[in-house]
Amino acid sequence: MSSAVADYLNNYNSFELFGLSHLAATLFFIFLLFFLPYYSKLYLSFNQQKILGNFLGFLIFLNFPIWVLLEVIGGSFDVKLHLPLHLCRFANLLLPIIMLRRNEFIFQILFYWGLSGMFQGIITPDIVQDFPHFHILDSLLVII
């Protein structure tokens, strides 16, 4: 199993800036940016909106631990490379606090961190793997 995970992590197509997958992901994000709030406001109750928000928050939160687990299984985990938490990874790990405790202060911090990182990530993504690699899927979830 570890050889299959290592093969998956190390053999990939290169990401092309403003290529087909980049433009498709950007259009998908723009669609969700307008569709998700519109749909939830019109068709979902308040409790359903909370469930959807919690689901998206925990899905984004799980990306970092899953990525680290894949790297450990694949044999490519390096403490110096994987454990320094970048701002986006730290924000991912704080999401459950917002989902469970509804902490307004942490929400405001993560909201503005997310906006700045998201817009920068859409224009100049910091990935080398193309779709369907885990890193591009992880980047898409963080943008949502």
Over the stretch 76-115, which tens digit does the pLDDT of each residue have? Answer: 888 887 776 777 778 888 888 888 888 888 888 888 887 7
CA distances to 33, 36, 83, 108 from 121, in Å = 15, 20, 20, 19
Q: Say what the pLDDT of residue 43 is.
A: 96
Q: Say what the pLDDT of residue 143 is.
A: 55
pLDDT tens-digit series, residues 127-142: 777 776 666 666 666 5
- pLDDT-derived band at 42 (thresholds 50, 70, 90) equals very high
pTM, full prediction: 0.75
Q: Say what the pLDDT of residue 138 is.
A: 62
Contacts 24+ apart (CB under 8 A), 29-34: 29/122, 29/140, 29/143, 29/144, 32/144
